[in-house]
Chains A and B, each alone.
Chain A
Amino acid sequence: MTSEKLLTAGASPHIRSGSTTRRIMLDVIIALAPSLAAAAVIFGPRTLAVAAVTVGTCVLAEYLSRRVMKRDNTVGDLSAAVTGLILAFNLPSTIPLWMAAFGSVAAVVVVKQMFGGIGQNFVNPALTARIILMVSFPAAMTASWPGAFMWRSSADAVTSATPLALMKDGGELPSLLNMLFAKSGSLGEVCAFTLILGGVYLVIRRVISPVIPLCFIGTVAAAMFLYGLASRDDAFTFMIYELLGGGLMLGAVFMATDYATSPVNTAGRIVFAVGCGLLTFVIRIFGGMTEGVSFAILIMNILVPHIERLTAPKPFGYINEKKQKEASKA
């Protein structure tokens, strides 16, 4: 039974679960696909052009920056493609394509690769790129949200106020059905239904744990409902519109759950998500802006190392040791 090939040695374990970074990222892309399709229906084919530009630029930027930095090519892990897709979701479908490309470069080169690449960035690349674009090009990014299905009608009336702006400034709100399936806003946030669908897929595939989305959305819901009770008659409707309006679903399911910029332990994740929810509430209600999800997540991203340090689980048996010390003192 002599075999010509040498046996392979190596440390345990000798079997692996088979999960890979690439497969995880592919799952995220699959989870995002229905929302992209919905956006294409709601805002027209230009949606796909924006997504193609952001994905293409992100992948190219990842490839080139790794090359310049003399690091191995990581395009194959698909994380750059995910960043591109999520960035597209954060843009209005009317955005000039060069701005979309600019945002992509900022996300991948500045936020991600300059800090060491995948897993090392301390803020969410797509989210930070959205904020960079909002600050750099406020007109293109916030003043002109295209309305749902307006691409089919006349070319003049292409913009409409987002539901959150309407709630803040007054105006007739879209129906609940529209809130769930097609409202105005950035191209990826408008169909809450497909976003939730994607989230369910990710939870089933065990790519994300439901802790962050549930705590995030739950905190916003509770805060908005209590605020609604105190300030207006229709507290429940108010809460529903706050949940479905704006980027909460997109942020809670796809951006707050970003591995690199959220805590690794469950207790930390709860603190992080509740913090995201509270900040979203505070910014939306008391801030000057209509939308607070991006800044809420960004601020909590920066706090992640501290949250992790404070919520670190006690290793097995360590609690006993402490108790024993106390017991021996007493």
Chain B
Amino acid sequence: MPPFSVKTSGVKKNLRAGVSAPRNKNTAGLETVRIPAPRFVRIPMKMHIGEPCSPAVQVGDSVTVGQTVGSCGAELCVPIHASISGRVTEVGNIEMPDGSICTAVTIESDGQTRPFGGTAPPAPGTREDFIKAVRRSGLVGLGGAGFPTYAKLEIPAGKIDTLIVNAVECEPYITVDCRACIENPGDVLEGIALVRDFLKIKNAVIAIEDNKPGAIRSLAAEVQSKGADGVSLITLKSRYPQGAEKILVRSAAGRRLAPGQLPLDVGCLVINVSTVAFIARYMRTGRPLVSRTVTVSGPAIREPKNVRVPVGISISDVIDFCGGFSAEPYKIITGGPMTGLAVISADLPVLKQNSAIIALPEPKKIIPESACIRCGRCVRACPLKLRPTVIESLTKTGDAAALERSGAAICMECACCAYVCPAGKPLVQTMRLAKRMLSES
């Protein structure tokens, strides 16, 4: 049997900064349930970071699950597929969670789930075919950022020696990656094998936090039974933001990204664990990305669940499936509470990259913003060794040269600084402002 190591000693460098926010992983033990097909879905034409797709269907068209409804040839774009079968009733604009306006295709369900006839396992033979197939699948990083996965794979052969599979999931509440490891460990390892084979990557490291014993056991058992040479599993101390790309490249591979560097510049490829598992499923079935698992949780949700939902289903339909609200919602967040987006309406659709829907009731106490007391908590919390309080005063004085030296440009908006600030300062906005000032100067 090929060697497989479950090692904690494999951690090259531990994260000391960051915060230990309450994890609230109360859904970790809940098996993923499939939601019944909704009455309608609204599928935005932009669920990736590149240009939006243009609708490939018209009002009145009949569509089936997996049929392309949006396509685009530009860089960093991936096609978008129908997630339910039925009739296109509207092609119009919607306001996205980030406030931008985007075209969306509305499909009314026919009550059945008719699959698209044209799907077949892609069976790629070469590296190029593999990357093309991944692009056709419509896959974006399922962890949250919406970066098209095919673009990550488009790297010169031999440049990468380590595939880092991100199963850290350090954001509070979210347990979809944890469930992926527990429910489909075979897909995870198969996906890793595919990526390694086609891209000729020597090593693979699965990184996971030590607060997911179920997922760790499941992956280890899968490897024991199937064998996976060159794959190791490292468990990281449970601390936010262990799963941030820069932090992970350092802790899993011991390499440090200089400002502006990508993981590939230091020979690493970082892919989310659910994303890797999807690649395996897609290569087996040919069914594109039309549904995903989301964790529905938070104190204002009556029955927190992990739910498999069609892309484009409205957030309110998903929450209704979870028993509705148990308290008046104050914020509904897509993604985790540290970096997610607070949506202004529960009628918005669930996107490919949304890993969670979190509903929070109004906090008992809202800290009003007050003067900085220079306590230094933000400085100690910053995993990138920035000094948010200093950067804040630099944004006020507008000193561009000092701002440049401060390193504000590398901020990844993990929000640790704002989380710990006793003065209630909106430091994430401050950092965004600083970055904007830098890019404009």
Q: Which residues of A contact B (CB under 8 A)?
A: 1, 3, 5-21, 23-24, 74, 77, 79, 116-120, 209, 259-260, 263-266, 308, 312-321, 324
Question: B331 is contacted by which of A3, A14, A315 (Cβ under 8 Å)?
Answer: A14
- B344 CB contacts on chain A under 8 angstroms: 6-7, 9
Q: How far is the CB of A182 from chain B (nearest CB, A)?
A: 33
Please tell me if the beta carbons of A14 and B360 are within 8 angstroms of each other in the complex. yes
Contacts A316-B384, A317-B257; A9 near B343 (Cβ below 8 A): yes
Cα distance A278–B413 when bound, in Å?
A: 40
**Structural contact, B373 and A21, CB atoms closer than 8 A:** yes
Instruction: Establish whether residues A8 and B330, one from each chain, have CB atoms under 8 Å apart when the complex forms.
Output: yes
Chain A residue contacts of B424, Cβ below 8 A: 16, 20
Inter-chain contact A317/B256, CB cutoff 8 Å: yes
Q: Once the chains bind, are B387 and A264 in contact (CB under 8 Å)?
A: yes
Q: Which residues of B sit under 8 angstroms from A308, Cβ to Cβ?
A: 390
Q: Name B375's contact: one of A24, A117, A265, A320 (CB within 8 Å).
A: A24
Which of B256, B319, B340, B376 makes the CB contact (< 8 A) with A265?
B376
In this complex, what residue of B is CB-closest to A14?
Answer: B337
In the bound complex, do residue A118 and residue B371 qualify as a contact, i.e. CB atoms below 8 Å apart?
Answer: yes
Q: A21-B423, A316-B256 are in contact. Are A14 and B340 (CB under 8 A)?
A: yes
Cα–Cα distance between A318 and B389 once the two chains are bound (Å): 19
Enumerate chain A residues within 8 angstroms of B338, measured Cβ to Cβ.
12-15
Contact of B337 among A15, A120, A313, A320 (CB under 8 A): A15
Partner of B419, one of A16, A77, A315, A317: A16
Q: Are B373 and A19 in contact (CB under 8 A)?
A: no
Instruction: Tell whether, in the assembled complex, residue B259 and residue A3 are in contact, meaning their CB atoms are under 8 Å apart.
Output: no
Name 17 A/B residue pairs within 8 A (Cβ), A-sorted: A1-B346, A3-B325, A8-B342, A9-B331, A9-B344, A12-B418, A13-B339, A13-B419, A16-B418, A21-B423, A119-B374, A120-B371, A314-B407, A315-B385, A316-B407, A317-B261, A318-B407
B201 at the interface (CB under 8 A from A): no
Q: Report the bound CA distance from A80 to B274 in whole Å.
A: 53
Mostly, the B contact residues are: loop
Q: Which of A74, A264, A314 contacts B389 (CB 8 A)?
A: A264
| Structural contact, A264 and B385, CB atoms closer than 8 A | no
> Which 7 residue pairs spanning A and B have beta carbons closest together?
A315-B407, A264-B376, A13-B415, A316-B384, A317-B258, A14-B337, A19-B422
Q: Which residue of B lies closest to A10 (CB)?
A: B342
* A259 contact from B261, B341, B358, B375, Cβ within 8 A: B375
A21 touches B21 (CB 8 A): no
B115 an interface residue at 8 Å Cβ cutoff?
Answer: no
Residue of A nearest to B379 (CB): A264
B383 CB to nearest chain A CB (Å): 7
Does the CB pair B387–A12 fall under 8 Å? no
User: B410 near A23 (CB under 8 angstroms)?
Assistant: no
Chain B residues within 8 Å of A, Cβ to Cβ: 19, 21, 172, 246, 256-259, 261, 316, 319-320, 324-325, 328-333, 337-346, 358, 360, 363, 365, 367, 370-377, 379-380, 383-387, 389-390, 406-407, 410, 413, 415, 418-424, 426, 428-429, 432
**Closest approach, in angstroms, between the C-beta of A215 and any C-beta of chain B?**
15
A18 to B20, CA, bound (A): 13
Using CB atoms, name the residue of chain A closest to B342: A9
Q: Is the CB of B367 within 8 A of A16?
A: yes
Q: Evaluate contact between B331 and A8: CB separation under 8 angstroms.
A: yes
Residues in A neighbouring B259, C-beta threshold 8 A: 315, 317-318, 321
| Complex CA–CA separation, A10 to B330 (angstroms) | 11
- The smallest beta-carbon distance between A39 and chain B, in angstroms, is 27
Interchain nearest-CB distance for B378 vs A (Å): 8
Q: Which residue of B lies closest to A16 (CB)?
A: B419
Contact between A119 and B371, CB atoms less than 8 A apart:
yes
Contact check, A1 vs B320: say whether CB atoms are below 8 A apart. yes
B4 to chain A, nearest CB (A): 32
B-side contacts of A17, CB under 8 Å: 19, 21, 419-420
Q: How far is the CA of A5 from the CA of B328 in the complex (A)?
A: 8
A74: B residues at CB distance < 8 A: 370-371
Enumerate chain A residues within 8 angstroms of B172, measured Cβ to Cβ.
15
B359 closest partner in A (C-beta): A7
